Structure 1
């Protein structure tokens, strides 16, 4: 696949690539991760959709921002720049974790650009958003943090069966400034009072055993977004879309097929 670039409002290069044919589907990764986040499952979607995977600023092949800084609202505007560069007026959007927070702002502030909206393992932030416990956050600090993060993403049985590279544990190419920027953007996300403005058909997916983003966030999103559908994947942790790929991808594909761009 070939990397392409769009220009954000502040001139920062936003890298992306396009795989597949059909209605456009934007794929948005989690905090401090590049578009490689989607590699293990992307073919599930590119078989039916024109998938557009984006490197948020500070990750992958995208640049680091200037005065615009880091925020989930800014990330959403950068996605609009990618759509403009491709000449795509409207696309489906699937965002997971912090990518789901970005997707919320796309649906709120750029409603005309969003077809079907899929929010995975994410939070509305603000007054109703739930965060990981102090114990969970502490586990990510220090030399054992990588192993702890792996355990938050996947069940022990899945880890035991799948030796090799993990795509959801962070982008090693990021600068410390970018990592801090992403953390603050995710922690500062607050769409709580704005989600009533979402008009896109919406699917919310979440693992029942997600300690990184507690499952109550999924229920809160469904309460805030009119008509939103909820799918809870029993036993899944944060990276439900990879470990429970067969179920999760099928749910997303069925939902998007019921809501074509028209």
Structure 2
């Protein structure tokens, strides 16, 4: 069981000494007196308690705390002030470090009313942790996936050319057969669906080009599940409008023949 108690001074002119006391199961086994501004090195295990007292400070500080840190790991606690300022690191405060042993820097900070805060390092703590208690820190794990294998340059070129084939065939057929606007709906409502279908169908042919350059095959299948029904509905509405024009023009042609 680990408890760590330390005491800190901020105003160097009033610091007379720093006293470190280490306990094993509440039994004192080490005492060390340090001079002001002296940084000592100490070992600390999970079964020990270390207390550092800052002697000589007078008056009540506005803020008093200590920081125990190593890289991204840190603990911040208020100093105790029962007669003498002291910082206490107990098992509760150190529980998050049980999986992160190593050398920690112990710093103390005290601010008196109307004065600038001063932070000073008082000890290097070699924390020896053997337990397996779950810590409070989040371990970042990176999972790098191998990049997908790319086809050869020639195969890429062939498929890129093939993606232009549908829209190329459409343009050739239009050049050979021409564009027949004879039965294009005159009604605004029917014409909107016909125009929308033509634009959507052209966009669908261009979709193959875009798919090859930007979209994975699985994503294309999901998107086609939405595109195909929409195209079929537009085609059906466009054919209804064309059928109305055919039905209107057929009686007129029969009337001309009978005359």
Taking structure 2 as the reference length, the TM-score comes to: 0.21
Instruction: Name the one with the larger strand percent.
Output: 2
Structure of greater relative contact order (alpha carbons < 8 Å, 6+ residues apart): 1
Greater Rg over alpha carbons, structure:
2
